[in-house]
Amino acid sequence: MTLLHPLIENAYRVLNGEELTEAEAMALVEQIHGTDIPDLISLANKVRNKFAGEIIACSIINAKSGHCNQNCRFCAQAQAHNTEIETYDLLDREEILSSAQEIYDAGVRIYGIVTSGYGYKNTENAEFKRILEAMDELHERFPGLKICASLGILSDETAKALMDHHLYRYNMNLQTNPERYSELISRQHTIEEKIDTIRYLQKYGATICCGGIFGLGETWRDRIRMAVAVRELGVDGSPLNILLPIPGTPLENEKLMTPADAAKAFAIFRLVNPKIMLKFAAGRETTMKDFQGLLMLAGMNSMITGGYLTTRGRSVEEDRNLIDNLNLFAD
Ligand code: SF4
């Protein structure tokens, strides 16, 4: 007699390279509860070890904070929301470089420049040109550093320019089920513009990091739809965030996701996307507290280390200890 729930037993097919269908993923959501959840996590852990067995740490700099004229419902940086974050214009090149030096000295080799705002569609934009200059200098000064960017919506032209200036990977999050983007996230820009941005970049050879946020009022079906949409876009990695409801945003009263639900969502996301980099991004310390190790065990193989955009994170050293102590790849 097997002790595994039959749906989990069926999902072991993923280890043989078979794909989990959307219906199968939804069945796991509906029927796996309580004491079966650790079995799901264990499978996600095995799938990660088999197909994505390298731990990847990256750091980001919030190079331009707040004053955003978009109104994403979760975001502390929208000027329409009454939050108390520190706001500033695009940082000087030297500030971007000195923060890169810090993470480089700590051994991190992936560095992302993140800016608030709609995005850049014109290569003549003065801010965009400054970012390109900073990327050139990062490339020159730090051998082996992979340069990422998260600058919002792009045109074909700006996508190409980033690639011409040493872009390794671009972050463009779906945030949630694409079909409900306007309802759950924002009506000021469209999910199609975001998907177009991904397509432009892929055309020029960029790798793509594309994920979203759990806990912003979406249903389980939305979570599965997002996981499947990420798979269909053929992206290379996916940052998964857990909402920290920020006072002053429309989601300030949203209930925190429980660690059990978060672990289940992460594990199923891994089963739907066995091979890509899955990054546990924001929400590790603030919402998951003692359980962040559990979520790494639910199939993650990457983390943002050294702080996030508008919330503090942990030091590179602390994260390194966390990963060492988890002993993720032990037999
Ligand atoms: S997520 Fe980006 S585009 Fe949306 S409000 Fe925040 S900074 Fe602006």
* Alpha helices in 106-254, H assignment, sequence order: 126-141, 156-164, 181-184, 191-203, 220-233
Ligand 1 atom having least distance to the Cα of 66: 7
Cβ neighbours of 232 (radius 10 Å): 9
Identify which of 60, 72, 193 to mutate to test ligand 1's pocket (most ligand atoms within 8 A of the CB): 72
239 in any annotated domain: yes
Tokens for 307?
């702080």
Compute, in angstroms, the gap from residue 97 CA to the centroid of ligand 1. Answer: 24
* Cα four-point dihedral sign 46, 50, 51, 52: positive
Residue 137 belongs to domain with CATH number: 3.20.20.70
pLDDT of residue 328: 59
3 in any annotated domain: no
Compute, in angstroms, the gap from residue 262 CA to the centroid of ligand 1. Answer: 23
Q: Is 198 in the pocket of ligand 1 (CB under 6 A)?
A: no
110 in any annotated domain: yes
10 in any annotated domain: no
Q: Is 107 exposed, middle or buried (0-12, 13-18, 19+ CB in 10 A)?
A: exposed
Evaluate whether 294 touches 254 at the Cβ level (below 8 Å): no
CA gap 315, 301 in Å, rounded: 18
In this structure, the residue with its CA closest to atom 4 of ligand 1 is 72
Evaluate whether 295 touches 267 at the Cβ level (below 8 Å): no
98 in any annotated domain: yes
pLDDT of residue 303: 79
Ligand 1 atom having least distance to the Cα of 175: 1
Evaluate whether 305 touches 316 at the Cβ level (below 8 Å): yes
Ligand 1 atom having least distance to the Cα of 75: 6
CA gap 98, 124 in Å, rounded: 26
pLDDT of residue 2: 61
Structural domain including 210 reads 16-326
pLDDT of residue 308: 47
Tokens for 133?
């200059």
Residue ranges, the chain, pLDDT below 50? 308
Compute, in angstroms, the gap from residue 217 CA to the centroid of ligand 1. Answer: 18
305 in any annotated domain: yes
Determine the 3-state secondary structure of 18 from DSSP: coil
For the segment 3-40, what is each residue's pLDDT rounded down to a tens digit? 899 999 999 999 999 999 999 999 999 999 999 999 99
The count of structural domains within the chain is 1
